[in-house]
Amino acid sequence: MGLSKSLYKKLLIDFPTKALSENSNQQVKNLSPLVTNFEKWSDKRRKLYFEDEEEMVVQNHLENFDLENNVYGRILASPMRAEKISKLKSCRKLLIPLKVVPSVDRDQHSENSKLKLVPILDYSKPYKSSYILNSASIVCDNLAAATSWFPLSILQRSTAKSLVVDTSTFFTEYNAHSLEFVRTRLSEVLTCENSSRNRVLLTYNERKTSPIEIQELKDNDGTSIKQSVFNLGCLQVPTLEAIINKDRVTRGIYLDAYHHKDLIEHIYSALLFSTR
């Protein structure tokens, strides 16, 4: 004889609670009020949001790591996105965004229209997009499977013949656009004061193989600070050398981690892409 649905449901609900209460050592004490109904049975925790983060740090005597002005902290804090080559998730600012656009040589008839996949410098919301690893060597090694990089929604409703990836220019055009963006922005920027604690030093030395270094220095008041050094000599672009070494005294450009954060992230991305 089977159990009725109501009795079976009652056993499922009551039994775990009853079993837990029999062993007092298993009872959870001082449960956080943040863990409420949904969080209890879903095994998920509510995210914390603070209206005033600075006040929260002071009141709770927490150490302020100043991650807002930390180049690497901002990169790692970017949203996670699935990546098409490794099939893993990674921080969005460590990936190359791809957008789907109508192919220039498409036919007038909708059934014969073609879609093209192109890399872009920044995430563009209006377009269907996907992501690949920001590495020139990995991209080149996997170009043969480039049609699989289209967003899943496009792959499901399109035929293979209607999807286009120009493998002859995919790598070179993205690299050219990236370097041109950096060159243009650097020619307009003014170097920040040397005393800035949150700074990145841009240098150009083709003899050095390390693209990024972190140096420990002493500030004017004797405080130990860390400084990131980006060596654009790894990119081997003479026009960048002329811009960076125009000041014969400093032999470099200092960027402020907050005011120049967009430019710093693009330079980091260009170095990451070119480094093998």
Q: What is the mean pLDDT of each run of 10 residues along the chain (276 residues)?
A: 56 48 51 55 61 73 75 89 92 91 62 78 71 92 89 84 84 90 88 66 89 84 83 91 78 85 92 85
* Residue at 233 is within a domain: yes
* Residue at 146 is within a domain: yes
Determine contact, residues 116/165, Cβ cutoff 8 Å.
yes
What residues make up the domain containing 197? 188-274
Whether 130 and 195 share a structural domain: no
* Residue at 30 is within a domain: no
pLDDT of amino acid 213: 92
117 vs 108: CA distance, rounded Å: 19
pLDDT of amino acid 37: 59
Whether 213 and 155 share a structural domain: no
Total domains in the fold of the chain: 2
Whether 159 and 197 share a structural domain: no
pLDDT of amino acid 103: 79
Residues 6+ apart with CB under 8 A from 164: 103, 114, 115, 116, 117
* Residue at 262 is within a domain: yes
* Residue at 157 is within a domain: yes
Whether 85 and 162 share a structural domain: yes
Burial 115-134 (b: 16+ CB within 10 A, else e): bbbbbebebeeeebbbbbbb
* Residue at 193 is within a domain: yes
pLDDT of amino acid 276: 66
* Residue at 142 is within a domain: yes
* Residue at 70 is within a domain: no
pLDDT of amino acid 18: 46
E strands in the chain: 80-82, 89-91, 95-102, 115-119, 129-133, 163-164, 199-203, 212-218, 224-231, 253-256
